[in-house]
Chains A and B, each alone.
Chain A
Amino acid sequence: MSEPVSALNRATFDGLAHVQEAGLQGMITLRGTVLDEGFAKAVSDVTGLALPGQRGVVSGGDSTLVWMSPDELLLLCPHGDTSDRVAKLTAALGDTHALVVDVSDARAIFTLSGPQLREVVAKLAPVDMSPAAFQPGTVRRTRFAQVAAAVWLSDAETAQIICFRSVAPYMFALLCNAATPGTAVGIF
């Protein structure tokens, strides 16, 4: 069995914010009729989490459910548990029209932390990062410069950013550049 390796092997950078490639993270894409009772119950039973509402992020224990679109959720879990969770979800969903796919190896996840992380994100994404508009518990799918990404705050000073693994070096370069010391715009 080969050793799993994350996109940038937990590379880090310190500047306006602390940037880190967050390492191995289990990610499971769930597609289905989220409003369907059978789907909601199956997902809740396996994850132990309530289903997030529009643009919501729900965390508990070692799992997080992220709302990706009206018919798509992303389940984050420990990397080693991924295949087990996929099997449990597939079994629980049974005949429900739904899709469960392990996408852990297709994505990269970055953690951005520090009091100035809003500055860093706002330089790269066309998103209102003011504390009034963007708070923990909300996910925003958007672009960071030229690549698609999803960003949410796990607490007031920590952001999680997901992108495709193939663009992980680009994303890391972007974040490091935007976090270059002395480049704070000072909006937030």
Chain B
Amino acid sequence: MLILTCPYCGVKAEETELHGGGEAHLTRFGPESSDEAFEGYLFQRENPKGVHFERWRHAQGCGKWFHAARCTVTLEVFGTYSAQTSEPPQNIRDAISAKRPGWTWRSFA
């Protein structure tokens, strides 16, 4: 069972209180963008084995969206952080580096 701490209300919520929102930090391409960019935004995902960044919603609690960094192999959670950011904060990156040296995810490392 995945347990994530909601950064907005501080509750240690287990998976059934949360709703997964897919991969984090997508850049949206809409009207006016190229077909390739739009296709990438819609369909291209990392689907990694290892370090991953996701969006989650505390659906049965405060209702806020937040980000989580976790390992898809071990379900280890490296940390959760605010949704008001377009990239993982440094403390989360440091926490991952401490446990998975040399990790990369899209343009982040």
Contacts and interface: CB of A to CB of B under 8 A. Distances in A.
Interface of A: 54-55, 68-70, 72, 126, 128, 140-143, 148
Contacts of A126: 13-14, 16-17
A66 to B, nearest CB: 12
A99 B61 CA distance: 20
A67 to B, nearest CB: 8
19 contacts: A54-B9, A55-B9, A55-B11, A69-B8, A69-B61, A69-B64, A70-B8, A70-B62, A70-B64, A72-B62, A126-B13, A126-B14, A128-B12, A141-B60, A142-B17, A142-B60, A143-B16, A143-B17, A148-B60
Contacts of B12: 128
In the A-B complex, list the 7 residue pairs whose CB atoms are closest, starting with the nearest.
Answer: A69-B62, A143-B60, A141-B61, A126-B14, A70-B8, A148-B60, A54-B10
A126 B1 CA distance: 12
B9 A141 contact: yes
A72 B8 CA distance: 12
A72 B63 CA distance: 10
B94 to A, nearest CB: 25
Interface string B57-68: 000111110000
Contacts of B63: 69
A141 B63 CA distance: 10
Nearest to A148: B60
A126 B59 CA distance: 14
A72 B62 CA distance: 9
Nearest to A140: B11
A72 B64 CA distance: 11
